[in-house]
Structure 1
Amino acid sequence: MSEGLARRLGTGDAVVVGLSAMIGAGVFAAFAPAAAAAGPWLLAALALAAVVAYCNATSSARLAALYPESGGTYVYGRRRLGPFWGYLAGWGFTVGKTASCAAMALTFGAYVAPGLSVAVVVLLLVADLRGAIGFSSFGVLVYYAIANAAALTLTREEGAPPKVVPVVGVVLCLVLAATLPWGSVVAGLAVFAVGALVWVAVHHRRSARP
C-alpha cells in the first residue's frame, strides 16, 4: 500500500480551495482601512500585492510539485533550509492563522453585535481588529518569505522558477512585514522570538538525553 498522498482533486477543486483560503472575513473589514492607508497609491498597492501573491504562488507550486506531502512550507523549509526554518514556518503559519480566526470573530461580531450578548460587545470595545489583521499578516508574510527562500534553493532539474521570482518574493514579504503597524511588528517579533526559544529549549533537552 502506497504511503503517498492520493491525487483526488482536480484543477477546479484546487482553485476553489485556494479562493476559499484567500477570500475570508477580511473582505468585510480590511478593504476600507487599507484603501485609506494607501490613499492615491491604492492602484500601486494592489499591483504590489499582486506581485507578492504571484511570487508566493509560483514558489509554493514548484515546491509542492517536488514535495507532494502535507505540511506546506513546514515541509519545504525543513527539506531545503533545515529543521529550524521548517519549524519557524510552521510556527508562523499557526500564529498567523490563529490571529486570522480572531480577526474573523471580531468582524462577525462587528456586523451582528446588536443581536449578540454583552460579552461580544465588550470584546469589540477592547480589541483592535486592525491590530489582529496586522499581527496575522506578519505571521503569514514570514511564512511565505521562508517558502520563497526554499524555492530559491531549487535547481533547474527540480523545476526551479526563474531566480528573480523567489528573490522578489523574499524581499517583498520581509519589507511588507516590516512596514506593518509597529504594534503588529513588535508583537510578531516577540512571538517568533518565543517560538525560537522553544525550539532551542526542546532541541537542547533532546541533545542532553543519554
Structure 2
Amino acid sequence: MSSIPSPAPDVPDELRLRLGLSDAVLIGLGSMIGAGVFAALAPAADAAGSGLLLGLALAAVVAYCNATSSARLAALYPASGGTYVYGRERLGAFWGYLAGWAFVVGKTASCAAMALTVGSYVWPGQAHAVAVAAVVALTAVNYAGVQKSALLTRIIVAVVLAVLAAVVVASLTSEAVNVAWLEIGSDAAIGGVLQAAGLLFFAFAGYARIATLGEEVRDPARTIPRAIPIALGITLVVYAAVAVSVLLVLGPDALAAAGAPLAEAARQAGAEWLVPVVRAGAAVAALGSLLALILGVSRTTLAMARDRHLPYALAAVHPRFKVPHRAELLVGMVVATVAATADLRGAIGFSSFGVLAYYAVANASAFTLSPAEGRPARIVPVVGLAGCLVLAFALPSASVITGAAVLAVGAVVFGLRRALAGRP
C-alpha cells in the first residue's frame, strides 16, 4: 500500500504532539459519556421496549469490533483523519473519501444534536439560540489549542460521572425499584432491538475522536491502541449501570415517553433534589461531547483538505496554536447553522447512519491487514462490518433514506472531480 503523503510545503506547520494516554482516554470519554445517556436511551426504549438492554449489548459488540479495528489501523497510520486515511491507504481513494464524507456529514449532525441538548436543558424556550452560542464558545476553545480542550474535557468527564453515579445510587436504593422490568427479550421484536442498537451506537462512537487525533498523540503506536479499549470499557460499564437503574425505576414504557429520562428517574425515585443537578449534568455532558466532536470533525476536514478533496486552504495549521484553525472555523459555522434549524431526534438517526458507514469502511480496511501489520482476529472486522451494515439499515426509514442520499451525493462529487481531472 502507498505511504501516507506528507503535507505540501505551503502547509504552515505540523500539528503539535501534546496528548498522552490519560488525555486521549478522556477525550474518548468526553465524546461517549453523555451523548447516549442523555439523548439516546429514550428513543432506543421506544424502539425496543423491554429489549433495550439487548440493543445496548448488541451496540457494545459492534462498538468493540470497531474499536479493535480502529486501534490496529491507528497504530499503523497515526495521522489526522482516522478512517479517511485507513480507507484511502488500504482500499483506495474512493473508499477513503467516502468514509471521510460520511464522518464529516454525520458528525456535523451529531454536533448539532449535542448543541440542541445543551439548549433544551439550559433554556428550553430558547434551545436553538443557546445551541448556537454553545457552538461558538467551544469552537473558540478548540481554536486556542488542543491542550486546553483536553483540560476542559477532564473537568467535564469528572462532573458527568459524579452526576450519573448519583442517579444510579438514588435509583437502586429507591422503593420504586421493580426488578420485573429486567425480564428482557420476551416481547422484544428483532427489528426493534436492531433499531435500538443503531440508535445507541450514536453514543458509543466517540472513540473515533482518539484515532482522528493521531498526529497530536505522543507515541501513537502505543497510546492509541491502549486508549481506545480503555475509554470504551469505562463507557460500557457506565452505560449498563445507568440503563439498568433507569429501567428498574421507570420501566420501558415510561422511559420511552420521557423527555429527560434521567431527571424523570430521579424524580420517580423520590430524589427531587437531584433533578436540577441532573439537568445541569446533562448540559455539561452535551458540552463535553460537542467539544470533542468539533475537534474530530475539524481534523478529518484537515486530512481531506490535504488531499484536495476539500478546499486546500482548510489544510492550514495555525503558526501559534498549532491547530487547523480554518477547518475549525468552517466546521463551527456549519454546525451553528444546522443547530439553528435542526430536530434533535432526527439528527441522532442521521448521524448514526453516517457513523456506521464510516466504521464499515474501517472494518473492511482492518480485514486487509497482514499479521505483521497487527491484524486483529479475522472474526473481529467481519462481525464489525456486518454489524455496521445491519444496524445502519435497521434505523428509522427517514434516517436511512436521507443518509443513503447524502452518501450518494458524495460519491457523485468524487466521480465528477476525478472525471474533470482526467483520472480513470
Maintained 8 Å contact 1:5/1:69: no
Task: Give how far 1:41 is off.
Answer: 1.3
Structure 1 residue 27 corresponds to structure 2 residue 37: yes
SS in structure 2 at match of 1:162: coil
Partner in structure 1 of residue 372 of structure 2: 157
Alpha carbons 1:26, 1:104 under 8 Å: kept: no
Give a deviation string over 1:72-111, Cα, whole Å, max 9, x none: 1010000000000000000000011111122123222322
**Match for residue 39 of structure 1 among 25, 43, 49:** 49
Distance across 2 between alignment mates of 1:7 and 1:119: 35
> Which of residues 92, 112, 122 is equivalent to 1:102?
112
Mapped contact 2:69–2:381 kept (Cα < 8 A) = yes
Identity %, equivalent residues = 69
Structure 1: gaps of 5 or more residues: none
Kindly report which structure 2 residues correspond to 1:1-210, keeping only aligned pairs within 5 A, or say none. Answer: 8-114=18-124, 116=126, 127-207=342-422
Hey, what's the Cα distance between the residues in 2 that align with 1:131 and 1:27? 17
The AA in structure 2 aligned to 1:153 is T
Please give the alpha-carbon distance, in whole angstroms, between the structure 1 residues aligned to 2:93 and 2:406: 19
The normalised TM-score by structure 2 is 0.45
Contact 2:116 2:127 in 1 (8 A): no
Shift of 1:119: 6.8
Counterpart of 2:166 in structure 1 is: none
What is the Cα-based RMSD across aligned positions, in Å?
Answer: 2.5
Q: Structure 2: give runs of 5+ residues left out of the alignment.
A: 1-5, 7-13, 131-337
* Structure 1: distance between partners of 2:16 and 2:115: 34
Distance 1:184 1:155, change over 3 A: same
Distance in 2 (CA, whole Å) between partners of 1:15 and 1:8 is 14
Question: Structure 1 residues 127, 158: closer, same or farther in 2, change over 3 A?
Answer: closer
Kindly tell me: are residues 118 and 82 of structure 1, through their superposed partners in 2, closer, same or farther at Cα, counting changes over 3 Å?
closer
Three-state SS of the structure 1 residue aligned to 2:375 is coil
Contact 1:5–1:68 (8 Å) recurs in 2: no
Q: What is the CA–CA distance in structure 2 between the aligned matches of 1:50 and 1:117, rounded to whole Å?
A: 31
Pairwise CA distance, 1:113: 3.7
| Aligned equivalents of 1:127, 1:67: Cα separation in 2 | 35
Equivalent position SS for 2:421: helix
Cα separation, partners in 2 of 1:29 and 1:117, compared to 1, 3 Å: closer
AA aligned opposite 1:128? D
Higher relative CO (CA 8 A, sep ≥ 6), structure 1 or 2?
A: 2
How far, CA to CA, are the matches of 2:84 and 2:358 in structure 1?
A: 9
Query: Normalising by the residue count of structure 1, what TM-score does the alignment of the two structures yield?
Result: 0.88
Aligned partners of 2:119 and 2:129 also within 8 Å: no
| Structure of larger gyration radius | 2
